[in-house]
Amino acid sequence: MAGTEAKKTESKKPAAKQSGGKKKEVKKETGLGLTHRKAENFGEWYSEVVVNAEMIEYYDISGCYILRPWSMAIWEIMQEFFDPEIKKMKIKNCYFPLFVSPGVLQKEKDHVEGFAPEVAWVTKSGESELEIPIAIRPTSETVMYPYYSKWIRGHRDLPLKLNQWCNVVRWEFSNPTPFIRSREFLWQEGHTAFASKEEADAEVLEILELYRRIYEEYLAVPVIKGKKSELEKFAGGLYTTSVEAFIPNTGRGIQGATSHCLGQNFAKMFEINFENEKGERAMVWQNSWAYSTRTIGVMVMVHGDDKGLVLPPKVASVQVIVIPVPYKDADTQGIFDACSATVNTLNEAGIRAESDSRDNYSPGWKYSNWEMKGVPLRIEIGPKDLANKQVRAVRRDNGAKIDIASADLVVEIKKLLDTIQQNLFDVAKQKRDECIQIIHTWDEFVQALNQRKMIFAPWCDEEEVEADVKARTKGEMGAAKTLCSPFDQPELPEGTKCFASGKPATKWTYWGRSY
Amino acid sequence: MAGTEAKKTESKKPAAKQSGAKKKEVKKETGLGLTHRKAENFGEWYSEVVVNAEMIEYYDISGCYILRPWSMAIWEIMQEFFDPEIKKMKIKNCYFPLFVSPGVLQKEKDHVEGFAPEVAWVTKSGESELEIPIAIRPTSETVMYPYYSKWIRGHRDLPLKLNQWCNVVRWEFSNPTPFIRSREFLWQEGHTAFATKDEADAEVLEILELYRRIYEEYLAVPVIKGKKSELEKFAGGLYTTSVEAFIPNTGRGIQGATSHCLGQNFAKMFEINFENEKGEKAMVWQNSWAYSTRTIGVMVMVHGDDKGLVLPPKVASVQVIVIPVPYKDADTQGIFDACSATVNTLNEAGIRAESDSRDNYSPGWKYSNWEMKGVPLRIEIGPKDLANKQVRAVRRDNGAKIDIASADLVVEIKKLLDTIQQNLFDVAKQKRDECIQIIHTWDEFVQALNQRKMILAPWCDEEEVEADVKARTKGEMGAAKTLCSPFDQPELPEGTKCFASGKPATKWTYWGRSY
């Protein structure tokens, strides 16, 4: 994962109450509710949502967060998709140590330069100083590649394809943001070595497609697959591909996951050579690729609303919450029994359903509580529903209420969950696409940037020009930079000029501020 | 996991060749083979097996090991059993940070005292000193419990049951041994809080039973469930239960996994209080429980032999290896096709099968290679097998050869795998039981200890007596101590005296040296 320039973003803990009448009413009634509105104060809203939805807890070490079960379940669901997929590709899981010795860490200068300020060093154990300080991995290239060198001798040892699910540490940076930028995070990192560049190139794209699927099919977040610029690529690598998401409320792009072709640079540094089929000595071609808990933060940012979190059904640990609505003189036990039966029926059909029978909270409180936590579908069962042999379903994404006959429960709930999943994606895609602005001149670029657009521009693909754009847009909000050059390239008419340099443009590239 | 006294054990890297003619012959023929025999030099044998079987690679930081795919797959298979089981118990996964601030770490004196010399401290990030050094978790009680205090307010917040799968670090100790004692290892740690002691007591045993199942049903290693002595229990806890395994070749017990009832001590320290149903303030009752990659080391020690690793089928990532045995003028393509077809048939039936078609190695080399790696069942297909529409299966555990008609392949292979799994357990249990020695006097105890027995002795259950036994047996081989007091207590006749103190015995307890 490439280091990125620090961006200013609001990340304070929930502050004092600030806003309007309606919100006060909600808070007064239930004790729940958010102080900040997404559209008005995105950063504060985000910090508030992730806590109130019980996704994270702030930890007593700044920049470190506790991933509570509500988040961990999402991470596990994504892992349950991704891990079997890479195993089909004959990629095997392993575990390399958390620690790197300094000699190895500094072996590749370009690579380490990007991480050096962020490396955490262990210098003591108990009361004793270590003879040599040891680093905690910010990523595992330098941890692994000395052993790739040892294990790879001949072409039959190739391809060597390993992955690990682990924690990494990147210290000392500004603006910690839960899930998006933290001092410790969870990720998977794949490291593969091939005999030929063709094999490496092919795998880069296969893995990138899996990352697109995680975002689009599981998190319901639209992404753009593309290549990073030379300036933005993984330091020490040959080229970097990524899936880029976009946050309309802030007008910032966010790198969702990366799949890097490292080329032969690390092979050269770590002497990862093999005897090929002709008996000649050759260097391997390598890839590395990763996605992290940042995925969860992107999902929250894209789908959350002023009531709280909004979870896509596919990654919700609770897809359906069933709430009894007792009424005076009504058959309370019958209502509770109907709730239990409903949960059982849904669970047996593979739907993740729970009931909320807590007797110390009102139904209204419960509605707000589960809305805050983002449960995709709420089922209400009251005396009228009981009498009519039906349940009332309420969608979290749009508030729609649907009465469903008990006899059709499973079929209808499954349809609804699929509909919600698709709707979340469609709405997110529409919002993102509305933010895409095609520009051709510098003036248009500046205007679009100030309007929080995702800027699509013809570019000459020169590193110094990107550096110049960054310098010219440097400011309080952070500089603009390339997000990616999409693989799906629209036609570039002959004679099109680069928006920034006036030179002949060679490609279309997305630009903007970034997390 | 309680800290244990360091034990002397051989853990050097594979040394120069040392032994007899037959071994030389094997090595000469294939380049494979072990230099050390299990029965003659257990420590060297163990160090050699885990490397040659490609389970681990020694890392350039002492006491840290790379878990290669062959090991990682075992860890994952156990996780695939255990994780759903605890989820059925409504235990949820989470992730707490790797780091602990010093104030929190030192909050519980008894607890931290046991770990203090082993804590790794981060004092620098990049080139800057941290304002306050930060510890890397040796376990997570002190990381988690401040938040249990925050989250638990009333009885409806209980039980709070969390688990995490993570890495932990314990630095500075002697005699690192792959899987058994390493500076970093993988584990799961469960931390639960209840309103009543009865609930906590019940869970301790439920979890312990899951650990027994991991050992006996998956790893085919017999264990004894019991309670640790006051001296050996988890520091700061109320009582500790464990599953104890035994290594006949060294006569040492090994603590397989632990399930601790912490009582209310941590609740007191961290102020984990709740308002009970009567409105009174009360403290929670807590448990913590863990198993780690040590499980894998125990399995290797128990089942491995002079040919290498021996894997129980249930945890083997490759359960069946299919090897073509071509012969001059024979239908080579037909043989290879039969191998592929066999693998496909088995895989479709849920058996983890692979073929080894490498053309640069002889069948004999391949046999030794997969024996070293411990694959439970080898299938050989040569021209005769092809003609007879059969395959030859060879068991790794006992070398038995069985011809199987191709038509009956799946049924017979499944039976064989089940038989191997059971046989490994039965053989291990017999070997362990042969080592169990019931004694009644100190002289008998010393004799049994020197004979590498697992000693079952009547004991008065006094802490100072155990300390005395340790002092009296202190020596080069390490002191004897209690392993556990088994839940299955044999009858203790009236008037039985403690073997060590001569006082009235109150229970039977296993004693011995320990890893």
Q: What residues does B510 pair with on adjacent strands?
A: B456, B484
pLDDT at B277: 83
Is B122–A122 a contact, with Cβ atoms under 8 angstroms apart? yes
Q: What are phi and psi of B59, to 5 degrees?
A: -105, 160
pLDDT at A253: 97
Strands A353-355 and A377-381: unpaired
pLDDT at A414: 92
pLDDT at B181: 81
Amino acid at B265: N
Tokens linked to A341: 């039966």
* Per-residue pLDDT at A239 exceeds 90: yes
Amino acid at A425: F
Is A117–B99 a contact, with Cβ atoms under 8 angstroms apart? no
Q: What residues does B257 pair with on adjacent strands?
A: B243
pLDDT at A218: 98
Average pLDDT score over residue span A453-459: 96
Is B57–A146 a contact, with Cβ atoms under 8 angstroms apart? no
Average pLDDT score over residue span B441-470: 94
Is A98–B184 a contact, with Cβ atoms under 8 angstroms apart? yes
Average pLDDT score over residue span B126-131: 87
Q: Which of A97, A151, A167 sits opposite B61 (nearest CB)?
A: A97
Q: Which of A66, A124, A169 sits opposite B121 (nearest CB)?
A: A124
* Per-residue pLDDT at A138 exceeds 70: yes
| A340-351 pLDDT, tens digit each | 999 999 999 999
| B381-411 pLDDT, tens digit each | 999 898 998 998 999 999 999 999 999 999 9
**Residue B184 with chain A: CB contacts under 8 Å:** 97-99
Q: pLDDT band at A37, cuts 50/70/90?
A: confident
CA-nearest of A140, A151, A255 to A514 is: A255
Token pair 């399930």 is at which residue?
B259
* Per-residue pLDDT at A272 exceeds 90: yes
pLDDT at B110: 66
* Per-residue pLDDT at A8 exceeds 50: no
Helices (H), A280-405: 294-303, 332-348, 363-372, 383-388
What is the distance between the alpha carbons of residues B30 and A9, in angstroms, rounded to a whole number? 62
pLDDT at A5: 31
Is A156–B358 a contact, with Cβ atoms under 8 angstroms apart? yes
Is B95–A67 a contact, with Cβ atoms under 8 angstroms apart? yes
Q: pLDDT band at A181, cuts 50/70/90?
A: confident
B403 CA: distance to closest CA in chain A (Å): 31
pLDDT at A84: 97
| A407-447 pLDDT, tens digit each | 999 999 999 999 999 999 999 998 899 999 999 999 999 98
Q: What residues does A135 pair with on adjacent strands?
A: A100, A121
Q: Which of B87, B98, B354 to mutate to test the interface with A (most CBs of A within 10 A)?
A: B98
pLDDT at A26: 53
**Residue B119 with chain A: CB contacts under 8 Å:** 125-126
CA-nearest of B265, B302, B332 to B108 is: B265
What is the distance between the alpha carbons of residues B440 and B444, in angstroms, rounded to a whole number? 7
Is B147–A186 a contact, with Cβ atoms under 8 angstroms apart? no
pLDDT at A21: 44
For residues B259 and B209, the answer to whether their CB atoms sit within 8 Å is: no
pLDDT at A16: 39
| A144-169 pLDDT, tens digit each | 999 999 999 799 899 999 999 999 99
Q: What are phi and psi of A318, to 5 degrees?
A: -120, 110
E strands in B373-453: 377-381, 390-395, 401-405, 436-438
**Residue A275 with chain B: CB contacts under 8 Å:** none
A402 CA: distance to closest CA in chain B (Å): 31
Of B27-31, B290-294, B491-495, highest mean pLDDT:
B290-294
* Per-residue pLDDT at B109 exceeds 80: no
How many alpha carbons lie under 13 Å from residue A471 in its C-beta half-sphere? 7
* Per-residue pLDDT at A234 exceeds 50: yes
Token pair 């060879």 is at which residue?
B394
Q: Which of A67, A116, A167 sits opposite B94 (nearest CB)?
A: A67
* Per-residue pLDDT at A18 exceeds 80: no
Average pLDDT score over residue span B422-430: 96
Is A133–B124 a contact, with Cβ atoms under 8 angstroms apart? yes
A140 CA: distance to closest CA in chain B (Å): 12
CA-nearest of A318, A254, A255, A308 to A74 is: A318
pLDDT at B149: 97
Q: Which of B55, B74, B90, B93 to mutate to test the interface with A (most CBs of A within 10 A)?
A: B93
Q: What residues does A486 pair with on adjacent strands?
A: A226
B448 CA: distance to closest CA in chain A (Å): 37
Residues 6+ away with beta carbon under 8 Å from B341 = none
For chain B, the average pLDDT equals 90
A230 CA: distance to closest CA in chain B (Å): 25
- State what percent of residues in chain B have pLDDT above 90: 76
* Per-residue pLDDT at B190 exceeds 90: yes
What is the distance between the alpha carbons of residues A47 and A58, in angstroms, rounded to a whole number? 10
Structural domains of chain B sorted by starting position, each given as residue range(s) with its CATH number in brackets: 40-301 (3.30.930.10), 318-419 (3.40.50.800), 435-511 (3.30.110.30)
A to B CB pairs, distance under 8 Å: 142
Residue B4 DSSP symbol: -
- State what percent of residues in chain A have pLDDT above 70: 92
For residues B138 and B105, the answer to whether their CB atoms sit within 8 Å is: no
**Residue A68 with chain B: CB contacts under 8 Å:** 94
C-alpha distances (whole Å) from A226 to each of A69, A263, A308, A388, B166 are: 33, 18, 32, 53, 33
**Residue B92 with chain A: CB contacts under 8 Å:** 69, 72-73
Q: Which of B57, B64, B162 sits opposite A147 (nearest CB)?
A: B57
* Per-residue pLDDT at B11 exceeds 80: no
For residues B382 and B401, the answer to whether their CB atoms sit within 8 Å is: no
For residues B125 and B134, the answer to whether their CB atoms sit within 8 Å is: no
Angle formed by the axes of helices B363-372 and B21-30, nearest 10°: 120
Is B123–A124 a contact, with Cβ atoms under 8 angstroms apart? yes
